[in-house]
Structure 1
Amino acid sequence: MDLDITKIHHCINELASPIACRPSGLGATATDSQPEWLTMKSAYQRWLADASPDPLWIVGKPGVGKSTLAHQIRSTLSKTQHTIVTHAFQSNVSTQKRDRASLAISILSQLLPPCYPVSSFQKEIFAQLLPSYNQYKSRFEDCPFEQLWPHCVTLLQSQEDFILIIDALDECRFDHRGQAKEILESLTQVLDCTGGKVVIFSRPNDMFGVGTSSKIHINEIRITEQDTLPEITAFCNSASAKLDLPEEMKLRVASRAKRHADSFLWPAQFLQEFTKTRKMSTLQKILEEYPSDIWSVYTRIWKDRLSKLDEVDKSICRDIFLMLLGARREFDVTELEDALHLIPDSGTAQFIISQHCQPLVEVLDGGVRLSHASVRDFLLNEGISGGGLSMSEPDATLARKCLEFLLKDIYASKDRIGQRLRKNIEVGGSANNQEKSFYEYAARYWYIHLTALLPPTQSLLELAGRFLRSLQFAYWAEYSITDMGDFEAIRSTEITLTVWLQRLPHNDRPLLHLDDYFETPYKNLSREFEENQGDKVLQWMALIQLGFYYFDKGRMTEMADVRKNVATGLTQLLGRRNPLTLRALSDAAYTFLFNNELHKARRLYAGVAADQREVVGESDPSPYFTLVYQSQAEHLMLDSSAALSTLTDSLAGFIRTTGPQSNGSLIAQLWYAVANASAGQIEQAIKMMEFVRDKRREQYGPEDSFGIATQIFMGDLYRKLGDEEKALENIEPALRFRRGFWPISHFMTLDTALILAITYRDFGNDDEAAEIIQELEEHARLDCDQNFVRACQVKHLRALLLFEDGNLNQPIRLLETLLIETNEAHNNRALQWVRLDLAYMLRYRGGEGDEGLASSLFHGIVTDQTHDPDDEPDPPRWLEAAEGALKLLRLGNTQGAKDLLEKEKLHWAREETLWMWLGVPAADTGWMRLPKGLGDDNM
């Protein structure tokens, strides 16, 4: 496995949040050593002596020096033989620094090496991290805590004697109380299986059960005024002595500081005032009038200072506070400048922050953050701050800022969009995927901020709706594509918006124009390119992307129309043998594959692949994608040997051009496994599918649509092997995923629901199967032409459930009516299995004429080598041969069925009625548990 350890570690390290070094200046403590009062606490002594198996809690109110104390413990214990690992939750920096996952990220960052050489153990951890790294790519901060924590446990277990120091656990963001319980259980479990220690710093918090009751736990230390008073006094004296003031004034300042100091936070702010003062009258005023508690300090800054600003500066300050409160990651000054539409490189943002927002806001190493967690509490406390900031305003402000930035005119530039189109379709584009300024943040987080609001304002919904229909959306979409054909960011955004939209009031939903997603901007883009009289290829490139979007969504009718137009247009513009034209022709042929025009599809794909091999470069994988589609046609036509041969050729091409784990290679491997299963090699096929599924998960995550399809294929094979547990663990979650994106009437969801219903019935869960069938009957639009074959399958399953429930006549009438009402042109493979099962039911019933009716079901299935008069019933020998051949075919024995017919000098009358149809995957009502009447022991 090719592991870029440096890249993985860099990604993790960028997001890590270890306990920071002690700050310099007035806020610094006098020493890095832990204070004497702490060493005298019995709970601390027991914890150090390994007498306490639980985490040690050190609890104190805001500003009493918990973070400084965490640093002092780290500094002191790092001189011992312990491995010290630290993490600080930082709600003042960004929501990213508040997530549970940030704890795991900090542990990984500190216990894994940044580059080679690495031990085999460490390399294995990196290998296990690779799927998460590939899945989340540039948004690793979204990787769930549960996905990362097992690696942390493994690393901590490898340390003989570690100490984990966690600062500000109370600032961690939990979606519900259960998550707080889970993180504590995770820490306890890691202590149970290691020799390590954990110390946690927190404000009093009822969710953790610390600091809020009269009873102090044996493993809890509460920081009291008595504990910190000597340190606070020393701090006030030391900081006052450093002021550039007369000695008498220093003493007065120190006295005032000590008189009202019940924490470090207030005196630090108070003393900072004297560093900016030049006049004695001002000094005297500060001494006499400065607020006596930190909340009053914040209130004065918020009210008094902002009230003196004009409306423009006041609005800018307010937006800065709101953006910092809602930031998903830390902003730098330039990003704020861009988001607020300030004059570039003017220093305006720096000036406003330093003059109007400090000390509530600070700038550290170019990053802008709230100065303390208590500032966040203050700003979101409407009653005290009087600023009118609500919990929803940060996300609302950032959603608006992101959308306004994405809608800037420069991102509607056809030249800019054209560069990205060329790059993504790989025909010579040179667009740099990195956008400087606020664009990267806006592109990544706009929909996250938007969907955090329930409900949003109508004006914000209208703004989002405007973006979804704009040319700027096309630029965002092309910017979001990181690999050829990788629509993951585009798809996941649409899924998130779709789920969120269902939670909005009905009257608000049309404002978003989600029905226009991708389709409208790309149609408009193509039209703009056409009317621009410039590069005529670009209009077709826009439609190539639209065709792929339709394909990805399973909108086959629209896909067919667009791809046909693209193929025609590029053929006229560039000629048939141009590489881009050949790609379009290959895309367009999918329509014939989907509509079961398999002879035509097979012929077209074979011709395009041959031309591509002659005109494209040796490193171009295009011909091998076309061969995959050709093999699908061969597989559906029951020509497994031809399909496997074509796929072998395709795989060799992918290995040579893009590598064995490339997207194309994995697609070819999946279809090789499918064809191999049809040839009887089910166990081997499952192993190959498991490899494909795991690699897709590594690269695209668990909600990759191709990976989901692979999972369903595999689950259906497990069903055929009789493994109920593995069948259901693959099929059930896949159906839940597809239901979230497609309605039950869509063939992707409908097929999966049918597969699950078949699986339930196979293993005796008839009630669950019947529930699915009833839903399909009521809501799956089975009367539309596209779903006709699936309608046959639904009626087949309904009849089987009725029959096995003891009802004889009703299922027989249901299936007889289905066959009678289906004309010859619509005969299909699913109806052949209906004939077999109906024949069994009739014979089981055994009424007068039932045997003759059962045999007559197979009329017209086979014919001889000469003349077959349509107006006469087939002879009994033909009927018997047809039934026998269909039974063999149902078992997957294609050659056996062929041999039987040849022996009788017969052949299939219409071979296309036996072909499979394209699904991803299609349900198989042939290979399923056969019907069995009550008391029938012959089966």
Structure 2
Amino acid sequence: MLEETPPKLWDLYEAMIHDSSNKLNVGQIQCRNSILLLLVGTQAPITWKEISSALSLRGDSEEVIFELCGQLVTWAGDLLHFSHPTYASKARIAQLLRGNFNEPVLTTGIFPTREAMSYEYAARHWGYHLSKVVSPEPELLSIANEFLHSFQSVHWGEFAYRLARGNQNTASNLSIVQADYGYLHEWFAKLSEESKSQIGIDDFFIDPYERISKLWATPPEDDKVLPWMPLIRLGGYCWEMALVDQGIKFRREARNGCIETLGPRHPLTLRSRKDMCQVFMIEGRYLDALDEYNAVVDAQRDVLGPDNPAVYETLSHRGITEFLVTRFNGAIQSETEASKGLLRSEEPESTLYIVSQWILTWPLSYTGDYQKALEICQDLFRRRREKHGRGDPYALMFTMVMGELFRKLDRMEESIQRLEEGFDVQRQALTGSISQNMGLLDPAINLVLSYRESGQNDKAWKLIGEIEGPEDELPDNFYDRQCQITHVKGLLLSDEGKVNAAISLLQGFFVKINRDQYNRAVLWLLLDLAAMLRARGEEGDEDQALINFQNILRKIDEANSSPIEVIGDELGLEDDLTSEGEPDLPGLLHDAEHALTLVRNLKFAEAEMFLVEKQVEWYRQKDFWIIYGSVPADTTTMKPPSLEVVDEFIPISYPKRAKKCSLR
């Protein structure tokens, strides 16, 4: 590549002009020359709008300049100037993209060795060094702004992706980009208002990728593959940065574009279809996602071959979905196959393999195979900690999983040790309150459970106070975690002999929610609440315990006996879930409580047999599903409440919904 490069910079520009002229007609060449003359002749920076006005360009003048000048010019916001040809070269960027997306590339080397060493350091550390400049000069701000909004930024993004992918100590292939995002925003916040006006960071990473995608999609480029690679990258970036709406937009655009131009079975299309499944999950379309994962896996086996790592990556994603819809055996099979397959093509320390093993521990834990899940965690934790030290993100991840598993195995000292270690590290790494950050909230709830089950109620109450804060509740978007916290508070009160207070809390919480708000945590809360009501034994308590199980089961309609699995928004709402309807008969209420108890005790086969025997079905299967996102603390298996009543009975006037059916 270097041997073909002209020896002088002007010769290089001349070669670029000559090569691109072959794709333009006479009028386009004359217009392009006028643009370049303006850039040469101006004494101050010039914007594309000024060029458009000076030359009376028609149509979308920004796109016209793109099409005519291509890699000869670089954009810095609205400003236009000649490119430094090296890292803004579309050919070099395309080479990197194709390599990162496993598409055929023309050459194997990206840089000569000496250049690679210099550029690698800059790619890893430019954000850090920039953040140390307290009062940047206007020239530095201009250079930084130019870099952030030019195609050089795309080149850096792909190079950084490749560096991170080869680093076994990173939790994401975009870790370098994420780190520089943090440095950049921290630095920007400290700048003066005048300095802030000279550099734009709101569209960091997104703007140049979006523009190069559009450029490659329009004549004279009109490439069939390249336009979709930047959009796929943007979809992944936005997803990891919690820019969900933009992530959905880019992933939908990439998937639709790939299908239209490349067909549904092209390797890049299959990747974009796999990514789109996460959009389905956000939209609550779990079963649609599962169907699409199945289709993509089958197509990848045919197109890429059965041992291609992409097959096993998709299998691992499918396993997550199976877990969330409580098809635990299917999830175990998917993750086991994915782990074995990845181990044939990846190193044992590879990100894909480690994540697949981590996911495998979820369904193992939820089906009661705690020891096997623990052995997986202990093995990977040991290897990661020995090789990468205490700061390794994967070692931290396995530390917290082990903490929950130790609790389920009643090894409370080890559980608390692991959970406190993981929680302390998270608190140092993450900003904001516990209630605002899922990365803090779930470890905190797990720690509360272990404190309670080890008899350290004071510590449990103290941490709950930190979780809920002065508002004494969590944000609405953490509703399922609020259900868990309320349940545990009721258990703590009951353990202290305050059964009346516990009943008041739990029953009062339950009657305020609608049927469409039921979830796993609510179902387990009902079982413990029923035990408390019966232990108290006041007038009406037995009736109340049963009435709470209204609309958990229903008789199978002989004309339509297929169970309902709702596909819709995140909660899978149905119009009939909020209607009063006819009250359930006492026998159905007893059956609902018994069936829930079997499921909570992990006797899944017995529960299914019981439903068949009674000719009933779950009112809504989705009540048992696990909300997509961070895996919550598991309140399925907890120490049952202490039922010794020592506090004073306080009668409660419940809202009408809780007393709508009489058992007398």
Q: TM-score, normalised by structure 1?
A: 0.51
Answering whether residue 324 of structure 2 is matched by residue 636 of structure 1, we say: yes
C-alpha distance in 1, partners of 2:324/2:367?
Answer: 12
Distance 1:728 1:697 in 2: 19
Following TM superposition, by how much is the alpha carbon of 1:597 offset from its aligned partner in structure 2, in angstroms?
3.1
Counterpart-to-counterpart distance in 2, 1:779 and 1:465: 42
Task: Measure, in 2, the Cα distance between the counterparts of 1:935 and 1:781.
Answer: 26
For residue 839 of structure 1, report the CA deviation from its aligned partner. Answer: 2.2
Q: Is the 8 A contact 2:468 2:474 kept in 1?
A: no
Query: Which residue in the other structure is 1:240 paired with?
Result: none
Greater Cα radius of gyration, structure 1 or 2: 1
Contact 2:92 2:110 in 1 (8 A): no
Question: Is residue 320–residue 359 contact of structure 2 (8 Å, CA) maintained in 1?
Answer: yes
Structure 1 position 705, deviation (Å): 4.9
1:871 counterpart residue number:
581
For residue 572 of structure 1, give the secondary structure of its aligned residue in structure 2: helix
Which structure 2 residues correspond to residues 37-116 of structure 1 after superposition, within 5 A?
none
Q: Is the 8 A contact 1:861 1:910 kept in 2?
A: yes
Give the match for residue 676 of structure 1.
Answer: 364
CA contact (8 A) 1:799 1:811 kept: yes
Per mean C-alpha deviation after superposition, the further-off stretch among 910-919 and 864-873 is 864-873
Q: Which sits farther off after the overlay, 644-653 or 882-891?
A: 644-653
The 1-side partners of 2:383 and 2:505 are apart by: 45
| Distance verdict in 2 for CA 1:763–1:578, change over 3 Å | same
Mark the CA change 1:696 to 1:761 in structure 2 (over 3 Å): closer, same or farther.
same
Distance between the aligned counterparts of 1:931 and 1:506, measured in 2?
A: 57
Deviations 1:575-597 (A, max 9, x none): 00111101110111123345553
CA distance in 2, matches of 1:555, 1:776: 25
- Which residue does the alignment assign to 1:100? none
Structure 2 match to 1:225 = none
SS of equivalent to 1:410: coil
Q: Distance in 2 between matches of 1:896 and 1:625?
A: 33
Greater relative CO, 1 or 2 (CA 8 Å, sep 6+): 2
Relative distance call for 1:652 and 1:728 in structure 2 (3 A) is same
Q: Closer, same or farther in 2 for the Cα pair 1:799/1:678, shift >3 Å?
A: closer
Shift of 1:610: 0.6
Letter in 2 for 1:891: N
How many Å apart are 1:623 and its aligned residue?
A: 1.4
Mapping 1:456-467, distance limit 5 Å: 456-457=135-136, 459=138, 464=144, 467=147
Whether the aligned pair in 2 keeps the contact of 1:638 and 1:894 (CA below 8 Å) is no
Q: Percent identity?
A: 31
The answer for the alignment partner of 1:412 in structure 2 is: 88
Q: Residue 495 of structure 1 contacts residue 741 of structure 1 at CA under 8 Å; is this kept in 2?
A: no
Matched, 1:432 2:109: yes
Q: Which residue of 1 aligns with 2:209?
A: 522
Map of 2:480 onto structure 1: 789
**Which residue among 422, 446, 471 is the counterpart of 2:126?**
446
SS of the residue corresponding to residue 605 of structure 2 reads: helix
Match of 2:641 among 904, 926, 931: 931
Backbone CA RMSD of aligned residues: 3.7
- By how many angstroms is 1:457 displaced? 4.1
Show the counterpart of 1:753.
Answer: 444
Looking at structure 2, the residues matched to 533 and 824 of structure 1 have their Cα atoms a distance apart, in angstroms, of 57
Tell me: CA distance 1:731–1:544, structure 2 relative to 1, closer, same or farther (3 Å).
farther
CA contact (8 A) 1:613 1:623 kept: yes
Q: Which residue of structure 1 lines up, in the alignment, with residue 599 of structure 2?
A: 889
Q: SS of the residue aligned with 2:86? A: helix
Q: Distance in 1 between matches of 2:254 and 2:430?
A: 27
Letter in 2 for 1:908: W
What secondary structure, in the 3-state scheme, does the structure 2 residue paired with 1:863 have? Answer: strand
Tell me the alpha carbon deviations over residues 180-211 of structure 1, each in whole angstroms, 9 at most, x when there is no partner: xxxxxxxxxxxxxxxxxxxxxxxxxxxxxxxx
Task: Report the secondary structure of 1:538's partner residue.
Answer: coil
C-alpha deviation, 1:642, in angstroms? 2.2
**CA distance in structure 1 between the aligned counterparts of 2:421 and 2:246, rounded to whole angstroms:** 28
Q: TM-score normalized by structure 2? A: 0.70
- Aligned partner of 1:623 in structure 2 is 311
Tell me which of 584, 587, 600 is aligned to 2:272.
584
Looking at structure 1, the residues matched to 540 and 316 of structure 2 have their Cα atoms a distance apart, in angstroms, of: 49
Pick which of 488-497 and 866-875 moved more. Answer: 866-875
Residue 405 of structure 2 aligns to a residue whose secondary structure is helix
Distance in 1 (CA, whole Å) between partners of 2:379 and 2:555 is 46
Letter in 2 for 1:751: D
Q: Residue by residue, what CA displacement relative to the aligned partner does 1:437-458 show, whole Å, maximum 9, x if unpaired?
A: 44333223323334456x4547
Query: Conserved in 1, the CA contact under 8 Å of 2:552 and 2:592?
Result: yes
Bigger shift: residues 430-439 or 545-554: 430-439
Cα distance in 1 for residues equivalent to 2:547 and 2:430:
44
- How do 1:218-257 and structure 2 match up within 5 A? none
Secondary structure of the structure 1 residue equivalent to 2:617: strand
The question of whether the paired residues in 1 share the 8 Å contact of 2:131 and 2:186 is answered with no
The answer to whether structure 1 residue 553 and structure 2 residue 241 are counterparts is yes
How far apart in 2 are the matches of 1:839 and 1:663?
45
CA distance in 2, matches of 1:515, 1:804: 51
State which of 842, 849, 870 in structure 1 corresponds to 2:533.
842
- Aligned equivalents of 1:919 and 1:584: distance in 2? 20
Shift of 1:897: 2.6
Which amino acid in 2 is paired with 1:523?
Answer: E
- Provide the C-alpha distance between the structure 1 equivalents of 2:111 and 2:254, rounded to a whole number of angstroms: 30
- Listed as ranges, the gaps of 5+ residues in structure 1 are 1-340, 342-406
Residues 525, 594 of structure 1: alpha-carbon distance in 2 compared, 3 angstrom cutoff: same
What is the distance in 2 between the residues matched to 1:671 and 1:524? 36
Q: How many pairs are equivalent? A: 529
Q: Contact 2:332/2:360 (CA < 8 Å) preserved in 1?
A: yes
Residue 855 (structure 1) shift: 1.3
Between the aligned partners of 1:561 and 1:809, the Cα distance in structure 2 is 51
Alpha-carbon spacing, 1:476–1:505, altered in 2? closer, same or farther (3 Å): closer
What amino acid maps onto 2:156 in structure 1? Answer: W
Match status 1:490 vs 2:182: no
Among 658, 664, 671, the alignment partner of 2:352 is 664
Q: Is the 8 A contact 1:735 1:749 kept in 2?
A: yes
Alpha-carbon shift at residue 498 of structure 1 (Å)? 6.2
Is the contact between residue 465 and residue 472 of structure 2 (CA under 8 Å) also seen in structure 1?
Answer: no
Q: Distance in 2 between matches of 1:694 and 1:486?
A: 23
Tell me which amino acid in the other structure corresponds to 1:432: G
Cα shift at 1:927: 2.1
What secondary structure sits across from 1:537 in the alignment? coil
Task: Report the counterpart of residue 573 of structure 2 in structure 1.
Answer: none
SS at match of 1:412: coil
Q: CA offset at residue 886 of structure 1?
A: 1.7
Uncovered stretches (5+) of structure 2, i.e. residues with no partner:
1-8, 10-82, 167-171, 562-575, 647-664
